[in-house]
Amino acid sequence: MKRAVLFLLAILACQTLYAKAPPPGGYQPDDTQLIEHGSYTNKDGNTVHRPAHSKSGQAPQGATAKCRDGSYSFSQHHRGTCSRHGGVSEWLR
């Protein structure tokens, strides 16, 4: 019984050590304020919201660039940002 408990504790400890860290703060916008939804995994393994138009027309929290089609990007790297949205119109960060 002791071994089983120790084994389970070891498994839980390993899962905690190897759990994927959440993406850096500010990159996950409030989905209720956006028209388009969805995400992708970037080259660092972080989940990032896909470019989206905001319902208010204002830059949503966490946006890093405004694309030429009017959508906002949450990209964590400059390379490829807004590539399917006409390119970057303006960098916000």
Check if the beta carbon of residue 51 is closer than 8 Å to that of residue 70.
no
Q: What is the CA radius of gyration of the chain?
A: 18
Give the model's confidence band at 12: pLDDT under 50 very low, under 70 low, under 90 confident, else very high.
low
The 10 Å Cβ neighbour count of residue 66 is 19
pLDDT tens sequence across 55-93: 999 999 999 999 999 999 999 999 999 999 999 999 998
pLDDT tens sequence across 68-77: 999 999 999 9
Indicate yes or no: pTM above 0.85: no
Strand partners, 47: 41
Q: What is the DSSP string of 26-38?
A: T-S--GGGBSS--
Q: Is the pLDDT of residue 26 over 60?
A: no
